Structure 1
C-alpha cells in the first residue's frame, strides 16, 4: 500500500520518537491506509525499538474488530510471518490486560470504564453508549455522569500510567477527545494521532507536530484511492424548502420509540432546504429521490451498467433509515437480501457488513453513523446523501467511504457487470454540496463532456494547459492506469521514462503547488508537469 509505509518511513514519525517528542500527528487521506500505517509502525517499534505494549484507540467498537483483522493479516518484513504469529493482539475486555498482550484495541469509553472500575461490555457486542457519537445527539458521549463536562481520572492499580509505551489514536480529529483528554493524558506514553481531517484543536493537541501528510489528490494519483464524480438530484423541496400552513395536522415521531403522534400546527411552519434531511423528513421526497435515482442509474449515473452498484445511503436517524430501506425495497421491487440497514438497532451487524463487502446479492445499505466513518467496504461505488451532515469534517469522512480501491477479480465477483472500480459517485439529494460546510472537490475538475482526454493531451503538448486541467488530466490518467494491460503500462513507462503512477503524482503535485503559488508562478509549474505527461503521450 503506497500511502501507509511512505507515510511512516518517508515521513517523520520515527524521527519524532527518536527526538523524544511526546506527540505526533499523521494526516492521511481517508482510505489511504491509516490502519495499515499504524500496524506497520507497531511492528517496527515492537521488533526494533523494544516497545512492550501499544494501545490502539478507535472511535467505534466495530472499527476495533476491523483493526484487529488488519493486524491479523499483516505480513511482517523479514521472515514473512503474520503480525499475530509474533505478537498478541487483543481487544480490551472485562478480564483486564494479560501480561503477554502486546497490542490492545479499545474505544476510549471502554478504557475509561475500566479505569473507573465499571463494567466493560463484551468486545463482540456493539453498544452505542461506548462508541464515539457522530450523529449529533450526544448519545455516544458516555461517562456515566449524565453530562458533557470533561471527565476526571484517578489512579488505577490495574492499569497504571506506565501500562503502554505508545498510544495510537485513530480518527483523532473527533471533538470527543476534548472531553476524554484526561484518559489520554493519564498514561505516560507517546501519543500518535491518525486522521484525514484534522481541525485546529487536533493540531493544538498534538503540539503542531505534523510528521506526515498524505492528501487525497496524492492518494488518487498513486492509485491508493479512486476519484469521484458528483451527481445532483434536485427537487422543489431541495431548492426552496416549504411552508406548512397553520391548522394543518402533521406527524411528529419520537426518534427513540418510533411512536408517531399527530398534532395541529398553531402557526405556519416554514423550513429551509438546509433543514431537509436534518430536522425535517419528507416521505414523498424520499420516494421521489429514490425513483429518480433508479430511473437514471444506468443512463446517467453509471451509464451502460446493468447491476445496481454497491450503494450506501446516509440517513439522519434510525427511524429515517427504516423509512428509507422500506422505500428502497418498494421502488426496486426487491427484498431484504437486496437492501437493508446497518445501525445500532440491528443485530449481527458483522454478518451484514460481511455480506455488503462480499455478497453479490446485497446491493444497498442504509446507515446513520455506524458505518458512516472508518468502515471499509471496498466494492462501494455510490454514496447517496439523504442526510445533511452537520460539519465539514463529518462530510469528508462520509465521502471517504467510497474512495477505497479493490482488486479487479474481487470487485467483479460482487459486481458482475464491471471489471474495475476506477471511481465512485457522490449523489447529493439534500443540497449537501450547497452548504458552506461541505467541500467536495474531486481531483478531476472537468467531465468528459466538458473536455476530452485527447484535448487535454493536445493542450499538454502545446503547454497551454492550466492548473485545473492538469488536475483533470491526472485523474483521467489515474483511471486509465487501472484499465490498461501490463504490456501497455510498460510501453508508457518506457516512453515517459517513469511509471505512469509517477507521472500522475507529478501532475497532481504540480497542480496543487501552482494553485497555492498564484497565477504568476503557475506557468512554470504547469510546464514542468506537462513535460513529463508529454513524453508519455
Structure 2
C-alpha cells in the first residue's frame, strides 16, 4: 500500500469515527447520513480528495497528503482553497466552501473561511457533521463575534487588576490568539476574574460551553462555589440562574451545561474510557512524580468530540498541563486561558508568551490586596545532622498505616538523617522542640500582644506525620481536640467542614495538612505558616506560601482572633526544615525511576501511566518485594489481588511489554477483524493498540485501592522506628537574613517618609519646630500621620515599625512585647529623627516625664500636690499617654466622668486646672 493510500485509509477511519458516511463518488448517496464525505469529487479544478456534505449541502473540502509531508501541510493550503473556490460538478452551492481541512491522518489542520483573516489551526480530529451544519447556520463565527469587540466592561466591584485581566483577555481573543496567560498574584481574585470573563463570553460572544479545568477535587468545589455566588453587574440574577453548571463527577457531559468544571484526571478518564480511582482527584499533580516518557494515550471519543468546548480555563496552570497531561488539552479545539500566580519558563512558553495581564505579588502588597511576610528560622541539631539508634535498644516500631505499635529490640545500628525523619524514623523530641520554639517565638516575639494563638497552618510530610504533630501541638499548648485539627483527604472528620471552621470560627487555632490546602484554598485569617516538610518545586512552594498572603480587614480579623488590634498586615513563615534554603527547580525534576516512591508508581499506574519506565520500574519493585515478604504479608497481598501472588503481578507487567508478544497480539486482533496482515504491514496504530491492551490488562489489578494499600503496607520498611532515645535541641531560633534585610528596608522607608513629608504633615512638623514655637500635638495629628503611613504602598503600622526596629537595633528597643497604641507613633518618630536615643513605648516616656514634672513642680511650689490632686493628675497623665493631649472636653470620658468630671476637677484644682493641662501637654509630650 502506498503512503498516500495508507493516509486515505486512516482519514476514512477518522471520518467514520466522527459520524461521517464515507463514499466513493460513483456510489454517491447523500441521504445515507446527516454527513457524507465523498472521495475524489469532481470539480472544474480537478477532483478534490474529499468533499464534505452536511444535510445534503456541500460545506467543506479535505486535501489528503501522505504522512511524510506532515510538516509541510500549510504549503498545501493554496491547493485546498482552490478546490473550495471551484465549481462542484452536479452540485448547486455557493462558493467558496467555508470549511477547509488538510490532513495526513496523523496531523490535521482546519480553516474556517468565514473567520476574519482566516487562519488555519491544528485539530486533533475531524469535527462531527452536526457541528459543521450548526456553524453554517450561525450568522457569524465565534472568532468574528470576538473580533467585533464585546460591550464595555462594567467596572463596579472589580479591582483595577481584574479589569486589566478581563479587558486584556478579550483583546487577545479578538486578535484570535489561541492561548492566553493571566498572571495574577494569589489573593487578587483570579477565579472571580475568570467567572466575570466566562459570563461575558457566554452572553456576548455566544460561546457554547466553557471548561474550567482544575487538578484537585477541592479546587473544583471552590470554583463551583465562586460561580454560584457570582451576580453579574447587568443582571440581578445569580450566574446559576442564567446558565447551567456541571461539576464533572462521572463520564457524562451534560449537553445542557454551559460551564463544566472538571479535574484534568477526570477528563482523561472520560476521554480514554479508563476508570480512575476517585482518590486520584484528591492529589495535586504537582505531588506526583513525572518523567518525559509518561504519555497519556488519548484517542478520539465520539461521546466527547473535539468541539465540545469553545474555551478552556486552566486554573493553577503552572502545575498540571505539561508533559504528562498536555494531550488532554491538545484534544479539544478550544481557546486555552491559563490562570496562575506563579508562572515559570514552561508557563510562558506553553502560552506562546501571550501574557494578557500581569499582576505580581509585589504589586498586590503595594496595593494592599495582599500582605508581606517575614521568615523566622528554627534549626535543631537532629534536623541538621540526624542521629543513630544503636543495636539492641528497646524502642517502639510502628506501622505507618494502622499506627499499631510493637515494643522490640533493634537488630542493628540504625543511623538516620534529617531527610529520614517522619518517614522511616520518627523522633518525637525533634517535633516537640520545633513546636516549643514556635510557641515561644510567636507568644514572646512575633505576635507578643495577642491573647490567643494566631491562626496557624502546619505543612506535614505525610498523613502519619500530621497525626504526630497534632498530638504534640495539643500537649505543648495545653489544649484540647478543638485547638488543632488535621485537614487532609484522609482525615476522619469531614475535611470541608473542618476547613470552613478553620477559616471562619475561633477554633481550630491550628491546622495540619499535607497537600489538601497547600494550594489554591483561601484561609484569609492565617498569620503563621510552619514548614515541617521541604519542597523542591519553586512554583509549588510559592503556592504554599500563598496560603498566608491574603489580607483581611480589622473587623474580619476580630471575628476569629479577638485580640487582633488591626487589620492583617503581614504573616510569618516559620522554616523548621531549611525550605527557604533548599535548591528549587522551576518544575518538578524529571526524576529517574529509582527515585520514585513505590506509592507514586502505584498511583501513577492506577491513574493511567503506561510508559515503559513506569511499568518496568513497578515490576522490578514488586519482584524485589516478593523476596522480602513473610508468609503473612504475602497472603494479605494475594487476598487483595484476588489470588495473584505479588511476584506474578510483577512478571505480568514485564510480559506485557514483550515486543514479540505485542506483535502477535496485533496480528491476532487484525485477524479477528477480518483483515489480512503480516508483521511488516502492521501499522504503528495497530501495534500501539496491542501494546496498550496488553499493558492495560497487566495493570488492571492495580486499579483496586485495597491492593495498592496492601502492597505499600507489606514492604519491610513499612514500620517506623520511634526514637525516644536521642533528644533534640534547638540550635537557632530567629528571623532569617531575608527578614532582617526586610526590616532594614522598612526602617529606611520610614526615615525617607519622615524626611520627605516633614513640612506637610502636622505631626511631623511638630517635631521639627524649635521648642518655643511648638504648639500642642493632638490626637488628630497622629491619626493623620497613621493614615498616611498605613496606606499602600507603605503599609507601615506602628506594630510593623516597632518589630522592624527591634530586629535592626535590638539593643536600643524596649517594649517589643507590649500591645501597640496609636500614640507609639510619637515614640517611633522621635527615635527615627534622633530626639531619643532609646525606643520605648510612648506610655513609658509619659510616665517618666510625669514623675520628673511632679518632682520639679513640687520643688518650685514648696508644697506637694495633695493625694486627691495627685490621683487626678495621674488620670490626666494616662489620658495624655493614649491621646497625646488633654482638654476640658476630655473630662466627659468615662475615666473622668465616673469621678465627677470637669466640675469635680475644678473643685480640686480651682482656676489652676487650665494652666496645669497646658503645662502637662507641653512637658509630657515634647
Would the aligned equivalents of 2:283 and 2:515 in 1 still touch at CA under 8 Å?
A: no
- Shift in Å at residue 342 of structure 1? 0.9
- 1:291 maps onto 2:447 in alignment: no
Q: Which residue of structure 2 aligns with residue 435 of structure 1?
A: 582
Would the aligned equivalents of 1:2 and 1:224 in 2 still touch at CA under 8 Å?
A: no
- Shift in Å at residue 327 of structure 1? 1.0
Q: Could you tell me which of 332, 341, 346 is aligned with 1:196?
A: 341
- Taking a change above 3 Å as real, the CA distance of residues 429 and 278 of structure 1, as seen in their structure-2 partners, is farther
Q: Which residue of structure 2 aligns with residue 507 of structure 1?
A: none
Q: Could you tell me which of 309, 316, 331 is aligned with 1:186?
A: 331
Cα deviations by residue, 1:169-189 (Å, 9 ceiling, x for unpaired): 111111564211111111111
Q: Which residue of structure 2 aligns with residue 152 of structure 1?
A: 297
Would the aligned equivalents of 1:310 and 1:363 in 2 still touch at CA under 8 Å?
A: yes
Q: Could you tell me which of 214, 232, 235 is aligned with 1:58?
A: 214
Q: Which residue of structure 2 aligns with residue 2 of structure 1?
A: 159
Taking the aligned partners of 1:501 and 1:449, their CA distance within structure 2 comes to 16
Q: Could you tell me which of 723, 747, 757 is aligned with 1:451?
A: 747
Cα deviations by residue, 1:358-383 (Å, 9 ceiling, x for unpaired): 11121100000111111111111110
Would the aligned equivalents of 1:402 and 1:424 in 2 still touch at CA under 8 Å?
A: yes
SS of structure 2 residue aligned to 1:234: strand
Which deviates more, 80-89 or 417-426? 80-89
Would the aligned equivalents of 2:216 and 2:282 in 1 still touch at CA under 8 Å?
A: yes
Taking the aligned partners of 1:385 and 1:281, their CA distance within structure 2 comes to 17
Taking the aligned partners of 1:29 and 1:444, their CA distance within structure 2 comes to 24
- Taking a change above 3 Å as real, the CA distance of residues 490 and 320 of structure 1, as seen in their structure-2 partners, is closer
Would the aligned equivalents of 1:28 and 1:194 in 2 still touch at CA under 8 Å?
A: yes
Q: Which residue of structure 2 aligns with residue 521 of structure 1?
A: none
Q: Give the structure-1-normalised TM-score.
A: 0.77
SS of structure 1 residue aligned to 2:508: coil
- Shift in Å at residue 215 of structure 1? 0.7
Taking the aligned partners of 2:211 and 2:251, their CA distance within structure 1 comes to 16
- 1:282 maps onto 2:427 in alignment: yes
- Taking a change above 3 Å as real, the CA distance of residues 443 and 242 of structure 1, as seen in their structure-2 partners, is closer
Cα deviations by residue, 1:235-260 (Å, 9 ceiling, x for unpaired): 22344444556776776755445456
Q: Could you tell me which of 273, 298, 320 is aligned with 2:465?
A: 320
SS of structure 1 residue aligned to 2:743: coil
- Shift in Å at residue 489 of structure 1? 9.6
Q: Could you tell me which of 227, 231, 248 is aligned with 2:376?
A: 231
Would the aligned equivalents of 1:27 and 1:194 in 2 still touch at CA under 8 Å?
A: yes
- 1:22 maps onto 2:22 in alignment: no
Q: Give the structure-2-normalised TM-score.
A: 0.46
Q: Which residue of structure 1 aligns with residue 356 of structure 2?
A: 211
- Shift in Å at residue 157 of structure 1? 2.1
Which deviates more, 24-33 or 49-58? 24-33
Cα deviations by residue, 1:347-367 (Å, 9 ceiling, x for unpaired): 411111111111112110000
Taking the aligned partners of 1:337 and 1:322, their CA distance within structure 2 comes to 14
Q: Which residue of structure 2 aligns with residue 38 of structure 1?
A: 194
- Taking a change above 3 Å as real, the CA distance of residues 135 and 300 of structure 1, as seen in their structure-2 partners, is farther
- 1:269 maps onto 2:415 in alignment: yes
- 1:344 maps onto 2:501 in alignment: no
Taking the aligned partners of 1:322 and 1:33, their CA distance within structure 2 comes to 33
Q: Which residue of structure 1 aligns with residue 849 of structure 2?
A: none
Aligned length, in residue pairs: 464
- Taking a change above 3 Å as real, the CA distance of residues 360 and 177 of structure 1, as seen in their structure-2 partners, is same
Cα deviations by residue, 1:218-272 (Å, 9 ceiling, x for unpaired): 011111111112211222234444455677677675544545676847566352x
Would the aligned equivalents of 2:375 and 2:739 in 1 still touch at CA under 8 Å?
A: no
Q: Could you tell me which of 157, 162, 165 is aligned with 2:310?
A: 165
Q: Could you tell me which of 102, 108, 119 is aligned with 2:258?
A: 102
Structure (1 or 2) with the larger CA radius of gyration? 2
Cα deviations by residue, 1:182-204 (Å, 9 ceiling, x for unpaired): 11111111111111222322222
- Shift in Å at residue 115 of structure 1? 2.1
SS of structure 1 residue aligned to 2:747: coil
- Taking a change above 3 Å as real, the CA distance of residues 436 and 378 of structure 1, as seen in their structure-2 partners, is same
SS of structure 2 residue aligned to 1:161: coil
- Taking a change above 3 Å as real, the CA distance of residues 443 and 68 of structure 1, as seen in their structure-2 partners, is farther
Q: Could you tell me which of 523, 527, 547 is aligned with 1:381?
A: 527
Would the aligned equivalents of 1:274 and 1:431 in 2 still touch at CA under 8 Å?
A: no
Q: Could you tell me which of 113, 126, 130 is aligned with 2:281?
A: 130
- Taking a change above 3 Å as real, the CA distance of residues 172 and 135 of structure 1, as seen in their structure-2 partners, is closer
- Shift in Å at residue 450 of structure 1? 7.5
Taking the aligned partners of 2:247 and 2:410, their CA distance within structure 1 comes to 51
- Shift in Å at residue 325 of structure 1? 0.8
Taking the aligned partners of 1:233 and 1:22, their CA distance within structure 2 comes to 47
**RMSD of aligned C-alpha atoms?**
3.4
Which deviates more, 285-294 or 232-241? 232-241
SS of structure 1 residue aligned to 2:258: strand
